[in-house]
Chain A
Amino acid sequence: MSNWTEITPLDQIPQLGSRVITTDTMEIAVFRTAADEVFAVKNACPHKAGPLSEGIVHGNAVTCPLHNWKIDLSSGEALGPDEGCTNTFPAKVDGGIVYVDLKNSSRAC
């Protein structure tokens, strides 16, 4: 069962950029790609908890600003030879509004 929470109008997030939401337990970065897809990822790099929201976004990935790990936004997994992953949350755009399901985090990590 999904629990969509309304976050923000899409145009409040820059293309190839992100905004951060703070919940009771953590920060979540909401990314917008060039193709206007949105992804919600725990804002902590699997390497040393770097703020992924501050990274450069390309394709469906973000490069962490601290030591350049690349994180796949849809799975939360590190790409390339690096290993590790961070939680992701279902996210969607509906009628120009971004929704994130904060209850259904992937439990992969």
Chain B
Amino acid sequence: MKERLVLVGNGMAGVRTLEELLKYDPEHYEITVFGAEPHPNYNRIMLSPVLAGEKTIDDIILNSREWYAENGITLHTGDAVVAIDRAARKLKAESGLEVEYDRLLLATGSNPFIIPVPGADKTGVLGFRDIADVDKMLEAAKQYKKAVVIGGGLLGLEAANGLMKNGMDVTIVHLMDILMERQLDHPAAEMLKASLEARGMKFLMQASTAEIVGADRVSGVKFADGSEVEADLVVMAVGIQPNIELAQQAGIHCERGIVVNDTMQTFDPRVYAVGECVQHRGVCYGLVAPLFEQGKVAANHLARIGIARYEGSVTSTKLKVTGIDLFSAGEFNEQEGDETLVLQDPAQGVYKKLVIRDNRIKGAVMYGDTMDGTWYFQLLREGTDIADFRSTILFGQHDVGDAGHGDTARVLSLSDDAEICGCNGVCKGEIVDAIQTKGLFTLDDVKAHTKAASSCGSCAGLVEALLANTVGEGYDAAPSKKAICACTEHSHEDIIKAIKEHELKDMRTVFDFLAWKTPDGCATCRPALNYYLLANWPADYQDDMQSRFINERAHGNIQKDGTYSVVPRMFGGLCTPSDLRAIADVVERYDVPEMKVTGGQRIDLFGIKKQDLPTVWKDLSDAGFVSGHAYGKAMRTVKTCAGKTWCRFGTQNSTGLGVKLEELTWGSWMPHKFKLAVSGCPRNCAEATIKDFGVVCVDSGYELHIGGNGGIKVRVTDLLCKVDTEEDVLEYCGAFTQLYREEAHYLERTAPWVERVSLGYIKSRILDDEAGRKALYERFKFGQKFSQIDPWKQRAEGAEAHEFMPLEVVSQ
């Protein structure tokens, strides 16, 4: 018989946990859900737009009743659980229904805090929490004129905005001297207040409510100083209280919320709890992003995988009032010893403040221009050292490089038919529609459902901006620790470390050691593991062809019609008449449909049939060519310019040095593609300053540049150092390459890697530590012994023949 799981609280955190659980293990439990509200699970954070008339209730349903039925979940709506008997493992609902459980999940959310002043129970005094509250407000707006909202926080302002949109005259009463004091500092709060006043909202600041006056229905609010305002409707939005009544009554340990440990278990090991009702490491959360993280962890344990831990969250906030851009995250009020970076432009209505400690962002407040909010938030959560771009950070990420799409803020003002994803032709309207109708919260969800951002990824920032704007900050930004794929909980970092420290030398051992959830991984993790194993154990690991993408397996680029392209290596771009003749012969011999000079200074042959590959390679290999690895996450090309031999400006032999660098590095497998260039003088005709490793020759030596990228997101290199001799160039190049090979994440090019680990770190490893540099260089050369074997020659000689030979033709 299946184990029985009962969920109390049919809200956002609880149902999200069930969704995660069904992904892990749809069969293990017989699931029953009790919800006090008469509705299936809906998106509570969208109540504000519903109140403002921008959405309807139907738009915000997340899980329809059919969803529960399809997943075999018994749902009782409009039936609150009133008692839990933990000894008998049984609970009782209002309707009298009794249900037994093996595991219990509490997700009872919270209740709006109603200030206990005389008159607080009069008709027309409401909280702002659920559909019923919104219905009552909309009803009141039809008959009455004057509304008072008590509480100038996030919720209060959204309520006030909604009531105003419904034609009411709204006054906001706030105890503090600034609005949203939990999210904003003084200047930002003042700017917010000014723009809300310009829309017609009225404010009573530092006003302490003493009494609600009226007969049956409220007619006004009286304050401690004796003054009074008229009101036909009072909305109390002064805070929330974790809803712990049921848990307390059942004798489960509670403080402010239901106390849970890092696995989301309460003091009764059969009982888990998630959401706003929970207190974790002393903190109760009131935003959905942390609750979803909790849900993931609880599901992991309910599914008996038992490895996830919840370690707390940093949250960020955004106000969902159309036309007002506001963002805040972390510790935005500086403490002693902190530094602040401030940009203030009152004329444009822009204010940005970053709180910095030890060159790391601790908090951010932005008003008017929140385009870089998600970027700052990411830097904050990842604890990135910002020393390298501190002087420009306030100007935003586009200053560091952007995808040519323009800024993310502008995306919000685009029309619905504006194309967001250029690779897959997905428009803004389709994305927003999918987010709303399918209830998507993460970038991964949007990728899967719309294909936007799933190819080259350059529009991911735009999609995130749409997500953030459509679902508020409720969207799951990439979690601070990200699993490499759905087959495991582990991040790239964890995996690299385990492979090194525990000397894991084949894939099966990695799967077992790290408790992989799938029998043989997937198309995301297997290539990554194959690379990590190869990079760490070049002498021991047997390269696994079935874990390589077809391009690397067939040593050619697969084309849209299933044929392949072939690019022979031309060291440093140099070639001879006989080289060119040999290539021309191959083109004629095999009827190659098209040839072209590539952007990497060599020649591409397109449209070669798979079964012809081995013979094409044999002919090229007989003429002295090796594979150009134009298909691989590997060292690609070394671009060179004319240099000292011919050019009137040349300072060094850039072509010769390019050939030496290519001889050193060819064949090397990398986390991502890796390109080099050598320019003979600062005119830089070989474009060395947008390469992964670039050399610019000068009269007195060689400037070494790293971390450039000319692709999706152009990034100019950082100057690593200047060296005197060609031998030094080779040594520094080998050492830098090896550091990247050992430490970068699979599919992370040098540009994002350098930004992630910081230039300072790379300098400390390559410049400051001479012995370390030499050791890296030695390890690089050691690995090259195993990789500088021409894969084309091997295959021309018969290796992996099955890859290229179709089985015989049969009759159907």
A: which residues have CB within 8 A of B?
5, 7-8, 12-17, 19-25, 30, 33-35, 48, 50-51, 54-59, 63, 65-68, 70, 80-81, 102-103
Q: Report whether A56 and B518 are in contact in the complex, using a CB–CB cutoff of 8 Å.
A: no
Q: Report whether B518 and A55 are in contact in the complex, using a CB–CB cutoff of 8 Å.
A: no
Q: What does the 1/0 interface line of B550-574 toward A look like (CB < 8 Å)? A: 1001100010101000000000000
Report Cα–Cα, A7/B809, bound state, in Å. Answer: 10
What chain B residues lie within 8 Å of A13 (beta carbons)?
802
A-B contact pairs, 21 of them (CB 8 A): A7-B807, A7-B810, A13-B802, A14-B802, A16-B520, A17-B545, A19-B802, A19-B806, A19-B807, A22-B809, A23-B810, A33-B520, A50-B562, A54-B562, A55-B523, A55-B550, A57-B546, A58-B522, A59-B518, A65-B549, A81-B448
Kindly state whether residue B527 has any CB partner on chain A within 8 Å.
yes
> Contacts A34-B520, A54-B550, A63-B523 given: A24-B455 contact, CB under 8 Å?
no
Q: Report whether B802 and A65 are in contact in the complex, using a CB–CB cutoff of 8 Å.
A: no
Closest B residue by C-beta to A48 = B560
Kindly state whether residue B340 has any CB partner on chain A within 8 Å.
no
Kindly state whether residue B348 has any CB partner on chain A within 8 Å.
no
Kindly state whether residue B521 has any CB partner on chain A within 8 Å.
yes
Q: Report whether B519 and A21 are in contact in the complex, using a CB–CB cutoff of 8 Å.
A: no
What chain A residues lie within 8 Å of B455 (beta carbons)?
67
Report Cα–Cα, A14/B544, bound state, in Å. Answer: 11
User: Helix, strand, loop or mixed for chain B's interface?
Assistant: loop
* Residue of B448, B558, B802 with most partner-chain A CB within 10 A: B802
Kindly state whether residue B812 has any CB partner on chain A within 8 Å.
yes
Closest A residue by C-beta to B527 = A56
Q: Report whether B809 and A23 are in contact in the complex, using a CB–CB cutoff of 8 Å.
A: yes
From A14, A22, A25, B806 is in contact (CB under 8 Å) with: A22
Q: Report whether B546 and A14 are in contact in the complex, using a CB–CB cutoff of 8 Å.
A: yes
> Contacts A13-B802, A20-B807, A21-B806 given: A59-B547 contact, CB under 8 Å?
no
Q: Report whether A17 and B549 are in contact in the complex, using a CB–CB cutoff of 8 Å.
A: no
Closest A residue by C-beta to B451 = A67
Kindly state whether residue B390 has any CB partner on chain A within 8 Å.
no
Closest B residue by C-beta to A7 = B807
Q: Report whether A63 and B522 are in contact in the complex, using a CB–CB cutoff of 8 Å.
A: yes
Least CB distance, A15 to chain B, in whole angstroms: 7
Closest B residue by C-beta to A65 = B550
Closest A residue by C-beta to B560 = A66
What chain A residues lie within 8 Å of B809 (beta carbons)?
21-23
9 closest cross-chain pairs (CB), A and B: A63-B523, A54-B550, A56-B523, A16-B546, A23-B812, A65-B550, A51-B562, A21-B807, A58-B522
Kindly state whether residue B526 has any CB partner on chain A within 8 Å.
yes
What chain B residues lie within 8 Å of A24 (beta carbons)?
811-812
Q: Report whether A81 and B812 are in contact in the complex, using a CB–CB cutoff of 8 Å.
A: no
Query: Which of B468-527 touch A at CB < 8 Å?
Result: 518-523, 526-527
Additional 10 contacts, C-beta under 8 A, given A58-B520, A68-B454: A5-B810, A7-B807, A16-B520, A22-B810, A48-B560, A55-B550, A56-B526, A59-B519, A67-B455, A103-B812
Q: Report whether A59 and B523 are in contact in the complex, using a CB–CB cutoff of 8 Å.
A: no
Least CB distance, A45 to chain B, in whole angstroms: 10
> Contacts A16-B546, A51-B562, A65-B550 given: A58-B523 contact, CB under 8 Å?
yes
* Residue of B545, B548, B550, B554 with most partner-chain A CB within 10 A: B550
Report Cα–Cα, A20/B562, bound state, in Å. Answer: 13
Least CB distance, A32 to chain B, in whole angstroms: 10
What chain B residues lie within 8 Å of A63 (beta carbons)?
522-523
What chain B residues lie within 8 Å of A7 (beta carbons)?
807, 810
Closest B residue by C-beta to A68 = B523
What chain B residues lie within 8 Å of A51 (beta carbons)?
558, 562
Report Cα–Cα, A48/B553, bound state, in Å. Answer: 21
What chain B residues lie within 8 Å of A15 (beta carbons)?
546
> Contacts A56-B523, A58-B522 given: A25-B812 contact, CB under 8 Å?
yes
Closest A residue by C-beta to B811 = A24
Query: Which of B791-812 touch A at CB < 8 Å?
Result: 802, 806-812
From B454, B546, B558, A56 is in contact (CB under 8 Å) with: B546
Q: What does the 1/0 interface line of B444-463 toward A look like (CB < 8 Å)? A: 00001100001100000000
Closest A residue by C-beta to B445 = A81
What chain B residues lie within 8 Å of A55 (beta carbons)?
523, 550
Closest B residue by C-beta to A21 = B807
What chain B residues lie within 8 Å of A57 (beta carbons)?
520, 546
> Contacts A17-B546, A56-B526, A58-B518 given: A65-B558 contact, CB under 8 Å?
yes
What chain A residues lie within 8 Å of B811 (beta carbons)?
23-24
What chain B residues lie within 8 Å of A20 (beta carbons)?
806-807
Q: Report whether A58 and B526 are in contact in the complex, using a CB–CB cutoff of 8 Å.
A: yes
Q: Report whether A14 and B523 are in contact in the complex, using a CB–CB cutoff of 8 Å.
A: no
Closest B residue by C-beta to A102 = B812
From A23, A35, A80, B448 is in contact (CB under 8 Å) with: A80
Report Cα–Cα, A16/B455, bound state, in Å. Answer: 25
Least CB distance, B446 to chain A, in whole angstroms: 10
Q: Report whether B449 and A81 are in contact in the complex, using a CB–CB cutoff of 8 Å.
A: yes
What chain A residues lie within 8 Å of B527 (beta carbons)?
56
What chain B residues lie within 8 Å of A50 (beta carbons)?
562
Closest B residue by C-beta to A22 = B809
* Residue of B526, B554, B812 with most partner-chain A CB within 10 A: B812
What chain A residues lie within 8 Å of B523 (beta carbons)?
55-56, 58, 63, 68, 70
Least CB distance, B529 to chain A, in whole angstroms: 12
Least CB distance, A70 to chain B, in whole angstroms: 8
